[in-house]
Structure 1
Amino acid sequence: MSVSPHPHFCQLYMITSYPSFIGETKMGISSCSRRRGLVIILLLHLTAAVYGSNYFEDFDITWGGGRGKIVNNGELLTLSLDSTSGSGFQSKKEYLFGKIDMQLKLVPGNSAGTVTAYYLSSQGANHDEIDFEFLGNLSGEPYTIHTNVYSQGKGDREQQFRVWFDPTADFHTYSILWTPQTIVFSVDNVPIREFKNLEKMGVAFPKGQAMRLYSSIWNADEWATRGGLIKTDWSRAPFTASYTNFGSSMQNFEFGEGSGGTDTDEDADITENQEEGGVLNPQPAQDVSDHDPPMEQAAATKLRWVQRNFMIYNYCSDAKRFPAGFPPECRA
C-alpha cells in the first residue's frame, strides 16, 4: 500500500514498553548515530487514551483535492471517493508502541468496490504496517474487515472477518494495540485478532520503526467485492466515511540532539526486547496484579468467539496458497 512520504527516522533506537494494563513501563534508549557522537533524546509521552481529539491538531489531509474535510470545529473528519479520486489523511506524529482507537462510520448503502483503509505504517521497501481495511459490499450485504501485518516489508498475513452489527448506521471503535510482545486488533473493545512476537521462531515482528497513522478511501473494484465480480456503481458517488473521537495512548516521540557522548554497552543492553508473550497470554514484568489473569482469560474467550463465528479467511488455513507448508507463526 502506498502512503505519503514523511521524514526518515533512524532505525537504531529501541523503546521497550509495557502499557499500564500490564503494570509497568520500562524504557531503553540507544543512540541513532554512534559515529557522530550524538545523543538522541526521545521524549516519551505515554498517557491514557483521550477522546474528543481535535483533528486539526492531530492530522493532516494529504490528498484528495478537497474530498477530505475536517468539520465541526475539528471534532469530525470525512473522507470521500468519487470517479475522479479518493482521499486520505495522516497523523502529524509518529508512534512506537501503545494503543490507538478511532471511531468510524463506514460508507452506507451500495459500497461495493470501495475500500476504507485505517492503518499504522512506516516508510520504505522494508516498512512495517498494521492494517485494518473495510471492504464495501452491495446494499444489505455485510462489510468485510480485512487485517494484515507487515514486518520489514513482508505482509501476506491476511485474516478477514464479517462484523456482527451494521458498521454504517453509527460510529464504532476500531483499535490497534501494539507492544513489543504482541499486536491486537479490536472492534468495540472485542479482540478479533492477535499477532504475537515470535522472533525466536524466525518470524519478523514490527518493533524498530516508528509509524504514522493513516487512513484513506479508494476504489479497488478489481478485487475488493466478491473477488472483483462486483464493480463500483459511480452513480452512487460520492462515497463517504466519517471519523470521530480519536483516542491514543501511543508513545509520541520528539527528537533532539545532545552534545557529544556515545552509548555505552549498558545503554545498548537495556534496549533488548522482552520475551514474546502477548496481551492474551502475557509474560510481563514482575508486579502484575492478581486480577490480570482473569481479564486475559475473558479477552481470549472473546477472541475465540469472534474467530469461531465471524472469521471468513485465515491465511494459516489456506493450504492451496502454501503448498510447501504454512508460515512458522501458523504452527505456533
Structure 2
Amino acid sequence: MAMLRAVSVTVGVLLAAATAADSWLYEEFTTDGNVRADYNAQGQQVASLMLTQQSGGGAFGSRQKYLYGEFSIQMKLVPGNSAGTVTSFYLSSGDGPGHDEIDMEFMGNSTGQPVVLNTNVWANGDGKKEHQFDLWFDPAADYHTYTIIWNDKNVLFKVDDLFIRSFRRHADLPYPGAKPMSVHATLWDGSYWATQKGKVPVDWSGAPFVVSYRAYSADACVPAEGSPLSCPAGTDRWMNRQLDDAERGTVAWAKRDYMRYNYCDDGWRFPQGFPAECSRG
C-alpha cells in the first residue's frame, strides 16, 4: 500500500509538472465567450470553444503582438454536421480599415462532405486573396497541425507536414510586413457565408458545437517600441524560409487535387482584371 501511494504521488507530481509547463491558454491569451480549458492524460492543456444559439461562440486572442514568426496549433474540429460553423486560427493587426491579417478559416459542412479550409492574406486593408481547399481527411476525427509561417519574403500555409500555399512578397504590392499582429482563434455562426455561400445554415439541433485546440506554439519576433525586434535564437529556421522544390510540389498537388476556389480564377469578382500578383506566381 505504501508503495502504491508512493507511485501515485510520483505520477501526480509528474502530471502537475507537465500541466504547469503546458498552461498556454490563460498565460498567453485572453478569452471571450464560451471557452473551456482542461488537461488530457499526457498533461497537455486543451482549450475548447463552444457554439450555441443562445450564448454564441467563443474566442481567444494573444496578449502579445508579433512581427514575423512561425505559429502552429493542433486542432480537432466540430464533428458531424458542422454546416454553417466557422472555426479559425489567424493573425491580425486589428479591426481597422487598413489592417493586416493572415487567415486559416475552416468552413463547416454537412455530414460526409469535406470541410473547406479558407486561406487569405490581407495587407493594409487589401484582402480578397482567398485560396480554398477541401480537406483530404476528417478534421474532426483526430487532431491535425495547422501552421502559418510569416516572414519578409512570403506567407506559408501548412497542414500537418504538407505546405499547401505560398503567398509571395512583391516590392510594389501590398504585403503584411509593417504592422505587428496578435494570434486569434474563434468559433462562430457563419450561416450567411460559410457553407455553399450561405445556402446551408447552422442546424441548432446539433448544438453545442465544440472545437478543441492544443499544443500551441509561437516562435516569433516581438516588436519593442523604439528598439529593434526581439527575436528568439535561431530565427533563420523561419525568417528566411521559402519553399524548396519538393514543397512546391505539395503546393501544386493541393492546388490540382483539392483546391475549391482561387481568387486568381474569379473573373466575375475582378471584371477590370486580376490582382497583379496573379500573373507573377
In structure 1, C-alpha distance between the alignment counterparts of 2:143 and 2:23, rounded to whole Å: 15
What's 1:245 paired with? Answer: 215
- Tell me the secondary structure at the aligned position of residue 304 of structure 1: helix
Say if 1:114 and 1:136, in contact at 8 Å, map to a contact too.
yes
2:242 aligns with one of 252, 263, 279: 279
- Cα-to-partner distance string for 1:214-264 (whole Å, 9 max, x where unaligned): 111110111211111111110111100000001221113454x79xxxx9x
Q: Quick check: which one's helix share is greater?
A: 2
2:59 aligns with one of 88, 97, 115: 88
Deviation at 1:92, TM superposition (A): 1.5
What's 1:234 paired with? Answer: 204
RMSD over equivalenced CA pairs, Å: 1.9
Deviation at 1:52, TM superposition (A): 4.7
Deviation at 1:189, TM superposition (A): 2.2
In structure 2, C-alpha distance between the alignment counterparts of 1:120 and 1:74, rounded to whole Å: 23
1:68 aligns with one of 35, 54, 62: 35
Asked if 1:311 corresponds to 2:278, the answer is no
Q: What is the letter of the counterpart of residue 86 of structure 1?
A: G
Q: Quick check: which one's strand share is greater?
A: 2
Q: Which runs of 5+ in 2 are unaligned?
A: 1-20, 229-239
Say if 2:24 and 2:45, in contact at 8 Å, map to a contact too.
yes
What's 2:89 paired with? Answer: 118
Distance 1:150 1:232, change over 3 A: same
What's 1:144 paired with? Answer: 116
Q: Which runs of 5+ in 1 are unaligned?
A: 1-50, 264-276, 281-295
- Cα-to-partner distance string for 1:120-179 (whole Å, 9 max, x where unaligned): 000222110000100001111110001111000111111100111110000000000000
Report how many residues are paired.
Answer: 244
1:204 aligns with one of 158, 174, 186: 174
- Tell me the secondary structure at the aligned position of residue 49 of structure 2: strand
In structure 2, C-alpha distance between the alignment counterparts of 1:55 and 1:324, rounded to whole Å: 45
- Cα-to-partner distance string for 1:9-48 (whole Å, 9 max, x where unaligned): xxxxxxxxxxxxxxxxxxxxxxxxxxxxxxxxxxxxxxxx
In structure 2, C-alpha distance between the alignment counterparts of 1:189 and 1:329, rounded to whole Å: 26
Tell me which of the two structures has the higher relative contact order, counting C-alpha pairs closer than 8 angstroms and 6 or more residues apart: 1
- Cα-to-partner distance string for 1:77-112 (whole Å, 9 max, x where unaligned): 010100021110001211111101110000000100
Deviant stretches of 4+, over 4 Å? none
What's 1:220 paired with? Answer: 190
